[in-house]
Amino acid sequence: MLPKKCAIDCWIFVGLVLELVHGKLDFNNDLENSQKFQSIPTTVKTFENDTVLLPCSLNTPFRYVRWHRDDVALVDSRHPEILPPDRIMLWPNGSLQVANVQSEDTGDYYCEMNSDSGHVVQQHAIEVQLAPRPVISWRWNGHTLGLQGSSTGNRQSHVTEIKSRSQSGLIECLASNGVGEQAVASVYLHVLFTPEVNLPQSVVYTKLGARAHLECIVEAAPAATVKWFHHGLPVALGTHSSSHETELQSNRSLDHYVNDVRHLLVIKNVRNADMGQYECRATNRIGARSASIELTGRPMPCIFKINPGTQSSTSHVLVWQTESLMPIMEFKLKFRQIPSNNVTRQIRTNWTELTIPAQATNGLIYITTYTLHGLQPASLYEVSVLGRNSFGWSDNSKIVRFATGGEVELPNYSTESELLNDVTEEEDIQNEITQRSDTLRASMMFNSGSAEGRGLSGALIYSICLILVFKYQ
């Protein structure tokens, strides 16, 4: 009985001693210890799914070998009946194979060998690297695009239809694999468009012998060429008429690629034949756009002045002003009564027209006062006026409204102000941008590391720019 009990005690004792020895060994730095090994301690940096062989060989034959990863026992040559963990295999020469490595295989590996010369331990390590798997996002003028690009393999592309020149701007692709700063590459998108023509003045008032300036402002990308036409025929440039260009934006920064140019047609000594319709036509390779300017000697449209004087119930004093380079011969005043409440446009009476002779004036400004008599009391009227000189009738003034004395139920507009021009044939200001609908295709590609490429950086290639994603080792 006693020897048997002792045998069990001795076994436990031996085990404890071995653990103690293990704990005390400073294997790799222990010269004597390491000299017994043929294999060298190694840290293997590897990628997911690879197979790693950790060597363990002595200068002398060994009796048994066993392997641990950190605190976990893996294999023991004395116990081949105990199945090793998945993917782990012990070779007869003592090497440990870890197949199809996963991130959890990262750790320190201890090889213990027992031979005639004793018990030795060598430490190795495996570090499983994560291949860069970039998450790619896109920004447009600083705004992150909600939609992610489509990806085909390692290529990421973002396809957008360009509908407006306002879409020009900075496009950035950002790639992140969770290691370090995200990589950014950018490209500046210039949307080319049909020239846009703006007129500071669509009617230019002049007189014979004067110097006239017709002006049109053209925005375009690429730059537009501008030609002037008069009654449909090209303007002959020379001593009589000359054209001039001034660049409005001297801002040549990257995001200001649009040409903004003021074009001026100067007519030095206006003749009768110079009057009429001009066209400023701007062309670039995307398209052409034009705008017309009228050069005229007619009077400017009249403007009603607010008359603060007290008004009677059946008459109303009107004051208007205009400017004409040639003497004004007469005015035409149009007025009509309008419903005082419940404005229903259909039941309008016809305009009554009055011809009013013009008063001589010292300058170019004509201020005319005229009193309308025989009006309905407590009623609303609307009125418009135009003037004529030797070149013809001016355009209509704005229509203004006034009320005659007495209680008048006003509709929701003020009297005798320049509000509510009724002739609103809502000018269809064509703001639509008609530049070529273009499709930008930006794509990026990730070159996954080849066997030799490991340890180098993976490269993200983005049509114009290059993104580098670094794998940190």
Where along the sequence are the contacts to ligand NAG (CB under 6 A)? 47-49, 55, 57, 91, 93, 95, 131, 251, 253, 255-256, 342, 349-350, 412
Q: Which residue is nearest to ligand NAG (CB)?
A: 342
Residue 137 CB, nearest approach to ligand NAG (Å): 21
- Helices (H) and strands (E) counted in the chain, each on its own, are 2, 34
Instruction: State which residue, 131 or 266, has the beta carbon closest to ligand NAG.
Output: 131
How far from chain centre, in Å, is Cα 52?
Answer: 49
**Closer Cβ to ligand NAG, 63 or 256, answer by number:** 256
Q: Which is nearer to ligand NAG, 49 or 277 (CB)?
A: 49
Torsion of CA 394, 395, 396, 397, to 10 degrees: -80
Sign of the four-CA dihedral 225, 230, 232, 237: negative
CB of 313 to ligand NAG, least distance (A): 22
Indicate the residue among 46 and 307 with the shorter CB distance to ligand NAG. Answer: 46
Q: What are phi and psi of 462, to 5 degrees?
A: -125, 120
User: Which of 92, 238 has the CB closer to ligand NAG?
Assistant: 92
Q: Is the dihedral of CA 357, 361, 364, 369 positive or negative?
A: negative
Find the shortest distance in angstroms from Cβ 412 to ligand NAG.
Answer: 4
Nearer to ligand NAG, 39 or 324 (CB): 39
Six token digits for residue 356: 């009013």
CB of 59 or CB of 437, closer to ligand NAG:
59
In the complex, least distance from residue 186 CB atom to ligand NAG, rounded to whole angstroms: 16
Say if strands 203-205 and 288-296 run parallel, antiparallel, or are unpaired. parallel
Which amino acid is present at 247? E
Nearest approach, Cβ of 171 to ligand NAG (angstroms)? 17
Rounded to whole angstroms, what are the CA distances from 322 to 98, 153, 214?
97, 73, 21
Shortest reach from residue 53's CB to ligand NAG, in Å: 6
Q: How far is the CB of 235 from ligand NAG (least distance, A)?
A: 32
Q: Please identify, using beta-carbon distances, which residue of 48 and 247 lies nearer to ligand NAG.
A: 48
Alpha-helical (H) ranges within 143-194 are none
Q: Closest separation between CB of residue 86 and ligand NAG, Å?
A: 14
- Taking the complex as a whole, the smallest distance from the CB of residue 67 to ligand NAG amounts, in Å, to 13
Q: Which is nearer to ligand NAG, 350 or 355 (CB)?
A: 350
Give the DSSP H or E segment for 304. strand 303-305
**Residue number with CB closer to ligand NAG (272 or 350):** 350
In whole angstroms, give the CA distance from residue 224 to residue 28: 76
Kindly state the smallest distance separating residue 369's Cβ from ligand NAG, in Å. Answer: 28
What's the sign of the alpha-carbon dihedral 234, 237, 241, 244? Answer: positive
Q: Which long-range contacts (CB under 8 A, 24 or more apart) does 226-230 make?
A: 226/261, 226/263, 226/280, 226/281, 226/282, 226/283, 227/280, 227/281, 227/283, 228/263, 228/265, 228/278, 228/279, 228/280, 228/281, 229/278, 229/279, 229/281, 229/290, 230/274, 230/276, 230/277, 230/278, 230/279
- Residue 269 CB contacts under 8 Å (≥ 6 apart), including other chains: 209, 210, 211, 240
The distance from CA 413 to its chain's CA centroid, rounded to whole angstroms, is: 42
DSSP run (H or E) holding 160: strand 155-162
Residue 323 C-beta: closest distance to ligand NAG, Å: 31
In the complex with ligand NAG, the residue whose CB is nearer, 93 or 117, is: 93
DSSP state, residue 426:
-
Is the bond preceding residue 357 a cis peptide, omega within 30 degrees? Answer: no
